[in-house]
């Protein structure tokens, strides 16, 4: 008997709205200044009300927290600061009973150097199975052409270990040794950890840094065939024993290099679309749709059961690894005036500050997020327009406490403020007195209400998560226009939505060639307002600055009513 997941539809992830959050940052229940599972449980009503359907939790495992928990010291337990395994189970049940799925992190490329495996490995004799759980070398000359990801902190992918008397390999921080996937014991251990959470009922796993599992001479040690084989082994184990689960690949590579991670529908169900994200910001700043249409043209088709994961921001820097050197210079200039806003190869800012707190731009970008082919991922706090703190180290400036109300510590915690894991945002524009959930709930015009309405609207249609995409090419390049279309096999019905977005800060006219839809009526989805019928003439529209339209193309009433 396979173990069932909480979702009833095997393709649930295609219609999901994912909300990314950190337990530590969401709600503190016991006044120690650190968010925890009981706190998160107490905020599930809020998340349900927002309409999100899947909660992605950042790593919550025991960890020295030198990489905010991506440095794991035990794969099968909960960090005591956040609660107990029992608290996690209660959270999982509570989320499931609200119809929400749960996505957690499977960080298997590396562990913390405090993981007992590494502690044992450094003491074990060279060449022994215990030593070989990690990747060792007598010198630091191997794999010389492999890029350094955390370029601000690390000078090499090798670090010397005094105890072992050898170098060990790490693609990220030097306190995060890479596991050695050439050792079958590693896969066995990964399978055990994976099953531990899947048996409990976790619905989905984000495979962190999954491109780097193997190392081979003369390569960049990325996307190797051995890596794909290992992921397929994990997927086969899931398919053999569980139903309705999902694996999401974190692969920061070009669309053509990401494509193989879907396999023939037998590797990962989902993968983030990393290169699209910076190009959305480029298109906005250049007031030109080309960066978006160009990257989508380079995006290969994916198997039917697969899905892209779309995001505007996340817990990391806005990565610029997947743009050209010129584009990178442009992005740095346009979006990070202060050098403190930059880290590694990217920009460490939240959505609202990135777009100068301009409400129309925030809405425009979200309209793309919610109407592009894929599953949208909302980063906690962005639904209320939270700000960041570029004076905190690493990428912590975008990981500050959630702002619930104007009370002490933004309602996040009753601790003395100095005890909080990070200070709350306090500046006059983004500070918790100005930006918080409580205020926005009582304001019908708030970003929070807007986001909630848009999420609810998107959920009424299957076309956004499942349909095809076709760009129109009007002369005015400040206008991005596309048709989403979906034939629903189970109902024999179809949905067609025309999306039109104005990337410019000024009003723009546009004429669309809608010849394939002559006679149909575009109905604006937010207000259900019918627009003039489509004829064989170009269809004229005028768009206010940064505005967008979602128009459902419906058959004209005459054609659906029987003749009198």
Largest Cα–Cα distance of the chain, in whole Å? 91
Compute the distance between CA of residue 406 and CA of residue 408 in angstroms, rounded to an integer. 7
Q: Are 502 and 489 in contact (CB under 8 A)?
A: no
CA 147 to CA 222: how far, in whole Å? 10
User: Which one of residues 15, 20, 36, 67 is an interface residue with ligand BGC (CB under 6 A)?
Assistant: 67
Name which position in 15, 113, 222, 250 contacts ligand BGC (CB under 6 A). Answer: 250
Give the residue with the Cβ less far from Ca ion, 300 or 417.
417
The burial of 364, by beta-carbon neighbours within 10 Å (0-12 exposed, 13-18 middle, 19 or more buried), is given as: buried
Least spacing, CB of residue 88 vs Ca ion, in Å: 14
CB 560 within 8 A of CB 543: no
Of Ca ion, ligand BGC, none, which one sits near residue 382, judging by CB under 5 to 8 A according to partner kind? Answer: none
Nearer to ligand BGC by C-beta: 272 or 404?
A: 272
Closest approach, Cβ 316 to ligand BGC, in A, equals: 5
Provide the minimum distance between the beta carbon of 315 and ligand BGC in the complex, in angstroms, as a whole number: 6
Residue 15 contacts which entry, ligand BGC, Ca ion, none (Cβ below 5-8 A, type-dependent): none
Query: Does residue number 30 form part of the binding site for Ca ion (CB under 5 A)?
Result: yes
Q: Of 21-29, 209-217, 483-491, 526-534, which part binds Ca ion (CB under 5 A)? A: 21-29
How many helices (H) does the chain have, and how many strands (E)? 17, 24
Is the distance from CB of 165 to CB of 123 less than 8 angstroms? no
Residue 82 neighbours by CB under 8 Å, 6+ apart: 23, 24, 34, 35, 36, 37, 60
**195/202 Cα distance (integer angstroms):** 10
Residue placing its CB nearer to Ca ion in the complex, 57 or 213: 57
Look up 152 and say whether it is catalytic.
no
Work out whether 316 is an interface residue with ligand BGC (CB under 6 A).
yes
Taking the CB of residue 243, how many other CB atoms lie within 10 A of it? 14
Q: For residue 530, what are the contacts with CB-CB under 8 A and spacing of at least 6?
A: 521, 522, 523, 524
DSSP assignment of 71-95 equals S-S-TTS--TTT--HHHHHHHHHHH
Q: Which option in ligand BGC, Ca ion, none does residue 313 bind, with CB closer than 5 to 8 A by kind?
A: none
Binding of residue 87 to Ca ion (CB under 5 A)? no
Catalytic, 20? Answer no
Q: How far is the CB of 181 from ligand BGC (least distance, A)?
A: 16
With binding defined as CB under 6 A, does residue 208 bind ligand BGC?
yes
Please report how close the Cβ of residue 232 comes to Ca ion at its closest, in angstroms.
40
Q: Rounded CA gap, 501 and 479, in Å? A: 6
Q: Does 317 bind ligand BGC (CB under 6 A)?
A: no
Residues 134-173, one symbol each (x = binds ligand BGC by CB under 6 A, - = not), give --------------------------------------x-
Contact with Ca ion (CB under 5 A) among 16, 23, 25, 34: 34
Q: Which of 28, 36, 208, 317 is catalytic?
A: 208
The one catalytic residue in 68, 161, 222, 250 is 250
Which partner, ligand BGC, Ca ion, none, binds residue 316 by CB below 5 to 8 Å per kind?
ligand BGC
The DSSP output letter for 132 is G
Residue with smaller CB distance to ligand BGC, 172 or 197: 172
Q: Which is nearer to ligand BGC, 346 or 353 (CB)?
A: 346
Residues 20 and 103: their CA atoms lie apart, in Å, by 9
- Calpha distance 57→61 (Å, rounded): 11
Distance between CA 78 and CA 37 in Å, rounded? 10
If one asks whether residue 178 binds ligand BGC (CB under 6 A), the answer comes out as: no
Q: Any idea what DSSP says for residue 178?
A: B
Partner touching 34 among ligand BGC, Ca ion, none, CB below 5 to 8 Å by kind = Ca ion
Nearest distance from residue 209's CB to ligand BGC, in Å?
Answer: 5
User: Which of 210, 213, 223, 229 lies closest to 105, judged by CA?
Assistant: 210
Taking CB under 6 A as the criterion, the residue among 70, 167, 242, 274 binding ligand BGC is 70
Q: Which two tokens stand for residue 417?
A: 């403020």
Candidates 3, 10, 11, 32: give the one binding Ca ion (CB under 5 A).
32
Please identify, among the stretches 23-31, 126-134, 346-354, 515-523, the one whose residues bind Ca ion according to the rule CB under 5 A: 23-31
Residue in this structure with the two tokens 């529209």, named with its chain if needed: 541
Among 17, 92, 133, 209, the residue binding ligand BGC under the rule CB under 6 A is 209
Nearer to ligand BGC, 210 or 510 (CB): 210
Find the shortest distance in angstroms from Cβ 207 to ligand BGC.
Answer: 10
Cα–Cα nearest to 261, from 293, 308, 219: 308
Give the one entry of ligand BGC, Ca ion, none that residue 113 binds, where binding means its C-beta sits below a cut-off of 5 to 8 angstroms depending on kind.
none
Q: Choose between 15 and 394: whose C-beta lies nearer to ligand BGC.
A: 394
Q: How far is the CB of 467 from ligand BGC (least distance, A)?
A: 29
For tokens 């403020």, name the residue: 417
172 binds, among Ca ion, ligand BGC, none (CB under 5 to 8 A by kind): ligand BGC
Termini Cα distance of the chain = 57
Look at residue 551 and give its three-state secondary structure: strand
- Nearest distance from C-beta of residue 350 to ligand BGC, angstroms: 15
Burial class (CB in 10 A: 0-12, 13-18, 19+), 58: buried
Nearest C-alpha neighbor of 197 from the set 240, 235, 238: 238
Interface residues with Ca ion (CB under 5 A)? Answer: 28, 30, 32, 34, 36
Which residues are the active-site residues? 208, 250
Interface residues with ligand BGC (CB under 6 A)? Answer: 67, 70, 107, 172, 208-209, 250, 315-316
């Amino acid at each position: 008997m396979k173990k069932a997941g909480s979702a009833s539809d095997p393709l649930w992830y295609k219609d999901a709205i994912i909300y990314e959050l950190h337990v530590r940052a969401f709600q503190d229940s016991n006044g120690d200044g650190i968010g925890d599972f009981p706190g998160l449980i107490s905020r599930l009503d809020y998340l349900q009300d927002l309409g999100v359907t899947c909660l992605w939790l950042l790593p919550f495992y025991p960890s020295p927290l030198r990489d905010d928990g991506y440095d794991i010291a035990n794969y099968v337990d909960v960090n005591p600061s956040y609660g107990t395994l029992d608290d996690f189970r209660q959270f999982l049940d509570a989320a499931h009973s609200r119809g929400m799925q749960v996505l957690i992190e499977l960080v298997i490329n590396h562990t913390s150097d405090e993981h007992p495996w590494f502690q044992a490995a450094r003491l074990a004799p060279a060449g022994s199975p215990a030593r070989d759980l990690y990747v060792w070398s007598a010198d630091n000359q191997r794999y010389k052409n492999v890029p350094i990801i955390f370029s601000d902190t690390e000078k090499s992918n090798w670090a010397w270990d005094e105890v072992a008397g050898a170098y060990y390999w790490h693609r990220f921080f030097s306190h995060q040794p890479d596991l050695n996937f050439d050792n079958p014991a590693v896969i066995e251990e990964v399978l055990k950890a994976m099953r531990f959470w899947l048996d409990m009922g976790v619905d989905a796993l984000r495979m962190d840094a999954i491109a780097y599992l193997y190392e081979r001479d003369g390569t960049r040690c990325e996307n190797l065939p051995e890596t794909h084989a290992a992921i397929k082994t994990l997927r086969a184990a899931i398919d053999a024993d569980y139903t309705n689960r999902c694996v999401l690949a974190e692969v920061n590579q070009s669309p053509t290099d990401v494509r193989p991670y879907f396999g023939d529908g037998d590797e990962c169900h989902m993968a983030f679309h990393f290169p699209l994200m910076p190009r959305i910001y480029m298109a906005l700043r250049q007031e030109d749709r080309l960066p978006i249409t160009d990257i989508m043209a380079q995006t290969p088709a994916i198997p039917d059961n697969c899905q892209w994961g779309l995001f505007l921001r996340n817990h990391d820097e806005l990565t610029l690894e997947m743009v050209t050197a010129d584009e990178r210079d442009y992005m740095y200039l346009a979006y990070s005036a202060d050098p403190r806003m930059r880290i590694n190869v990217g920009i460490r800012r939240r959505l609202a500050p990135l777009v100068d707190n301009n409400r129309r731009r925030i809405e425009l970008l979200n309209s793309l997020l919610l109407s592009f082919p894929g599953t949208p991922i909302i980063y906690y706090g962005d639904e209320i327009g939270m700000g960041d703190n570029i004076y905190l180290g690493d990428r912590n400036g975008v990981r500050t406490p959630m702002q619930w109300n104007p009370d002490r510590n933004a309602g996040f915690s009753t601790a003395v403020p100095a005890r909080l894991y990070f200070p709350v945002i306090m500046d006059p524009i983004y500070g918790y007195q100005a930006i918080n959930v409580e205020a926005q709930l009582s304001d019908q015009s708030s970003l929070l209400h807007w986001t909630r309405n848009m999420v609810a609207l998107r959920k009424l249609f299957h076309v956004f998560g499942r349909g095809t995409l076709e760009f129109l090419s009007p002369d005015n390049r400040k206008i991005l226009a596309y048709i989403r279309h979906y034939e629903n096999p189970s109902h024999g019905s179809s949905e067609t939505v025309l999306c039109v977005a104005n990337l410019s800060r000024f009003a723009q006219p546009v004429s669309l060639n809608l010849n394939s839809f002559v006679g149909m009526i575009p109905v604006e989805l937010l207000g259900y307002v019918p627009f003039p019928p489509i004829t064989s003439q170009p269809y004229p529209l005028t768009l206010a600055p940064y505005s967008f339209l979602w128009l459902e193309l419906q058959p004209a009433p005459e054609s659906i009513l029987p003749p009198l």
